[in-house]
A = this chain, B = another copy of it.
Amino acid sequence: MTPAFEALQKELKRLPGVGFRSAERMAIYLLLEKPEAAERLSEAILRARECVRSCSVCGNVCEDELCSICADSRREESGSLCVVEHVSDLMAIEKSGAYRGRYHVLHGKLSPINGVGPENLNLDGLAKRIEEEGVGELILALPNDVEGEATCHYLTELVESDKVEVSRIGFGLPSGASVLYADSGTLKSALDARKRY
């Protein structure tokens, strides 16, 4: 409606999951409804940009040299390293409480069709970590899709050591789900992953 309004809407629309209409709604909120929230958001962005960086070991978010997980020596005791695509995947696993080892965040997955090769992923320190941290199991918590599959394949070839067991997380019916409402891809995964009962 006005140049500055449209400029703000355009920037908000760049955020993941935000469409034209949501960006418009957010801009109105920030400019007319809760002006104090606008200043606070802008400050929080600048402050976080100053403080928050990528952990030099695993790629998680941190404010020091190491993230809280890499700095926690008890995490090393598990002897396992969990490879994830994004920091948000790491956060989801942490919230589940189902894993207490360390992580390695790739910040992406192999996708030749989108021009993402191994050089675009956070792979530099991975082989060194596996050796130096005495990793016994490399758990691949990557997506259940073609790119996830390709990335797992690449990582398995990268390890090539008898000392390290490489595993990939299970696929199948989500918790609480019934066969009736599952899509074909999930049912195929679930059937492929069947276990002796």
**Per-position contact with B for A44-59: 1 when CB-CB < 8 Å, else 0?**
1111111110100000
Instruction: For chain A, residues 1 to 60, give those with C-beta under 8 angstroms from any C-beta of chain B.
Output: 1-5, 7-8, 10-12, 14-18, 21-22, 24-35, 37-42, 44-52, 54, 60
Closest chain-B Cβ to A31's Cβ sits at a distance in Å of 5
Complex alpha-carbon distance, A47 and B6, angstroms = 11
A24 contacts which chain B residues (CB < 8 A)?
A: 88, 91
Query: Which one of B32, B45, B86 contacts A61 once the chains associate, using CB atoms below 8 Å?
Result: B32
Instruction: For chain A, residues 156 to 197, give those with C-beta under 8 angstroms from any C-beta of chain B.
Output: none
Complex alpha-carbon distance, A2 and B7, angstroms = 30
Nearest B residue to A50 via CB reads B4
Which one, A62-70, A113-121, A126-134, A136-144, is touching chain B?
A: A62-70
Asked whether any CB of chain B lies closer than 8 Å to the CB of A81, the reply is no
Number of interface residues of A (CB under 8 A): 56
Asked whether any CB of chain B lies closer than 8 Å to the CB of A106, the reply is no
**Per-position contact with B for A66-108: 1 when CB-CB < 8 Å, else 0?**
0110000000000000000011100100000000000000010
Q: With A1-B67, A45-B38, A60-B1 in contact, is A16–B25 under 8 Å at CB?
A: yes
Residues of A whose CB lies within 8 Å of any CB of B are 1-5, 7-8, 10-12, 14-18, 21-22, 24-35, 37-42, 44-52, 54, 60-63, 67-68, 86-88, 91, 107
